[in-house]
Amino acid sequence: MFRPLILGVVFGPGAVACGSDDPTGSGGSGTVQFTTWGEEYIEDEIPADPGDYSGFVDGWSVTYDKFLVNIQGITVADASGKVGAAMQGSKLFDNTVPGVKSVIDFPGLEAKAWTHVSYQIAPVTAATELTASATQADKDLMLQGGYSLYVDATATKDAVTKHFAWGFAIGTEYKQCHSEQDGRDEEGLVVTNNSSLEAQLTTHGDHLYYDRLQSSPDPAIQTSLRFDALAAADANDDGEVTLQELDAKPLDVVHYDPSGLGAATHGAFVTSLARTVGHFRGEGECTIASL
């Protein structure tokens, strides 16, 4: 999966995408099925780069044992702000478990353009619902740490392995979501009469290793996946890279660009990247705001 660009906005407002025509007069209603999926990078492996910037340019590979994400606050609204449907509560998923997973269905939505779609990845609460992909032990771990996102993985390069388990106690809202549909940019969703539409809240496991917080305006400057500096943060060389060790390591500004957003350490940099794992309908993007 070639993914050359990072989300254009890490915090704060972003550009509004081109709108889609409202099929006024169509009448009727349809169903929107919200799902989540981790793609092959989370289910299988993020490989070393084969030459097209789709893997680690410094030769590492990463496999996930856990990719826990807590989803809440899915809202479907129109351009006037009228809410057609909203999710109550939150659900915990482990996207290393293969396959697309159902989050919630919204039946009976009026057939028209719903241009304002948003959702949140937020800390687990006692009321968070377990799904078939996650366990009670997963929920307990998330509750104890106040996490919204937790990854357990192993990086490998030649004969060297580095394990890491990073929990992120942050809340992120993904607003004004849009995606490419039939070759054009579409804000939110268009519901048509008697239709059943899937809207996938895709999680991108490669984003934690980007070397930029924003994509460069110069197309000649690629956004790359790197792990050398993260592996070197293992100060006691015990094979475990902790967020505390990343927090203690000043950002390598030769290979990493905070894009003017401020990240003095590799820990701060990775935490900022953790906000960008959420996408919409595959490669679709949203404006990101902290909760």
Instruction: Please tell me the predicted confidence (pLDDT) of residue 8.
Output: 40
Neighbouring CB atoms inside 10 A of 152's CB total 17
Q: Report the pLDDT value the prediction gives residue 276, as an integer from 0 to 100.
A: 96
- The whole-number pLDDT of residue 6 equals 41
Beta bridge partners of 36: 101, 201
pLDDT of residue 19: 37
Q: Which contacts of 165-169 are long-range, i.e. CB under 8 A and separated by 24 or more positions?
A: 165/66, 166/208, 166/242, 166/243, 166/270, 166/274, 167/141, 167/142, 167/243, 168/271, 168/274, 169/123, 169/145
pLDDT of 26 reads 59
Q: What is the pTM of this model?
A: 0.91
pLDDT digits (tens, 9 = 90+) for 212-254: 999 888 888 999 999 999 999 999 999 999 999 999 999 999 9
Name residues whose C-beta falls within 8 Å of residue 185's C-beta, 6 or more positions apart in sequence. Answer: 17, 18, 178, 179
Which residues, in sequence order, are CB contacts of 25 under 8 Å at separation 6+? none
Cα separation, 93 vs 129, whole angstroms:
9
What is the mean pLDDT for each group of 10 consecutive residues in the chain (291 residues)?
A: 40 35 65 98 97 95 98 98 97 98 97 97 98 98 98 97 98 97 95 95 98 90 96 98 98 94 95 97 96 95
Question: What is the structure's pLDDT at 27?
Answer: 80
Give the pLDDT of residue 5.
38
Domain boundaries, the chain: 29-290
